[in-house]
Structure 1
Amino acid sequence: MALNEGNIDWVVAAVALLAGIVIGVLIRHFSGSQRATSQKLKQRLAETELELKGLRENVNTHFTDVTTLARNLARQSEALQSRLDADASALASDPALKRRPKVDATEESEEDTTSLHIPRDYADGNGTLDESYGLRQKQESHGTDPQPPRY
């Protein structure tokens, strides 16, 4: 069978058509999987954003509730303190107890001012950062064993 030039053109055209179909199918297959992967990632991102939004709302609700509880606790503490002061002044027979709330208030104000000092990296007097800290004074009484020199 001899192929003439007209038949060769048809064979080349058929092979090119088949190759084009195969290449088109492969491109469609791979681009479709990328779209599916992209779609899955977008869905996961949307779910994660929704979950994050819910968590933020829960945190805001939690802090609001805790703030309310702390304020209620402070009010109850103040009410309890005022009731104790009133009961102590009305029922206590010891005059020192009647004056005690005023003394406590002055002590608290003094503690507040002393607790606000800036931290220091040195000690007053003979503190732990003093060079002579931990060294014993020479005793002039009994003869003690001589200590080796310090370097």
Structure 2
Amino acid sequence: MPVREVVLIGDPRLRQVALAVDLAKHDWRPDAIDLADTLADLKGRLGFGRGLAGPQIGSPWRLIAFECRLGSFVAVNPHITWRSEEAFSVLDDCFSIPGRKVPVMRSRSVTLQCLDLDGQARVFERLEPDLAELVQHEVDHLDGILMVDRTVSEGGRGGVDR
């Protein structure tokens, strides 16, 4: 499948709430493959990249490609089912906002539930802070939220989705 261009800030597709995937249909599958291929290409060319959400390639579907300690896979209809009360400030960056890092508040740990491309349920419980931050960033993309929407002063409070 083709590698796609990353959609950049200012494009209204980044502000759309992504649509739930209906596993009985197959209209979302090409986007899932393109998403994984695009993330692999970015990581290969740039040397970094742990996740990429559907809207970042112009896809309307609730899909996230991961290449990190969680594995290399596409999460279908991912959602956070638990968030720790404890939060922390992290400098966030994003392929859709190149060259910019902003401080955001994130829950220190989260639990992620999703399906894989075969429709099998996957659960990642009480993730460590670096993975929790990644998951929250990518799920935000599916809800039309960008890191700049969660910007806080260094060490400040605010911006955590509760």
Q: Which has the larger radius of gyration?
A: 1
Higher helix share: 1
Q: Tell me the TM-score normalised to structure 1 length.
A: 0.16
Q: Tell me the TM-score normalised to structure 2 length.
A: 0.15
Higher strand share: 2
